[in-house]
Amino acid sequence: MATAARVIAVGSSTTTASCFLRKAPLVLKQRPLSSSGGRRLTKRLFFTCNAIHKPQVQIKEEGQPETLDYRVFFLDDSSKKISPWHDIPLHLGDGVFNFVVEIPKESSAKMEVATDEPYTPIKQDTKKGKLRYYPYNINWNYGLLPQTWEDPSFANSEVEGALGDNDPVDVVEIGEKRRKIGEVLKVKPLAALAMIDEGELDWKVVAISLDDPKASLVNDVDDVEKHFPGTLTSIRDWFRDYKIPDGKPANKFGLGNKAANKDYALKVITETNESWAKLVKRTIPAGELSLL
């Protein structure tokens, strides 16, 4: 029996761009992380491929939700498949980044980009052939920063020497609106939590979508505490405890068990973007990861 395919437009006609590793050369672009006292600090490099403006990114659902065959593919405006991990640019300038929604808030199906499949579609994670669910709903929109990668060969000396988890960087988006699977949002990072999951470093960047009513009020970790009181603690505790109902130990956190500030989050994004650049240039073995 043929599975139904549904094509849904996501993103804005004025803000969405896409780029193609297969067709365009890779370039380096310089962006300042921050400035202080009117003096510009040392510039950091954000690695990206040449961005080709696309008026719209579409998603194409194949199969039925909550089945093993379900996939959410990303298409450009000529209906060609692109990768949400590799082909959507990370950096939009002025401290704004693209964020791809994998799991809408108040849902429990553990959706994720299939990093080992061509075009890296979003699918529901499995364990021993069965679909995975969180034991309770996640309370925020959750997804990834494109063009980032947590290198499993890199031991982070600032976080107990933990190795990267071999995935893109995760984002916890704290805005009020429940988003859709595959939606691409413009976000600004606010903080970062260094989760250690079974010895692997799994960064959680806390961010807010620019179209959220409170976006203008929050620009750093202290603003989150002021305008979203208790949220950072709730995020940490949720990710610390969600495996306990399955009989696993609680996850740990580095950096003093606290959320780092915006500058540190930008540092994490820069470093993992550089790791992704090495991956796609094949200076680091890709293993089973798809680079399409």
Catalytic residues: 134
* Pairing label, strands 162-164, 200-209: parallel
Helix spans in the chain (H): 221-227, 231-241, 262-280
Q: Are 76 and 137 in contact (CB under 8 A)?
A: no
Q: Are 162 and 170 in contact (CB under 8 A)?
A: no
- Cα(16)–Cα(274) distance, integer angstroms: 22
Encoding tokens for residue 75? Answer: 């298409």
* Pairing label, strands 200-209, 170-173: parallel
**What number of other Cβ atoms are within 10 A of residue 247's Cβ?**
6
DSSP 166: S
Q: Which of 112, 142, 152 has its CA nearest to residue 206?
A: 142
Q: Are 172 and 206 in contact (CB under 8 A)?
A: yes
* 3-state SS, residue 35: strand
**Cα Rg, the chain, nearest whole Å:** 18
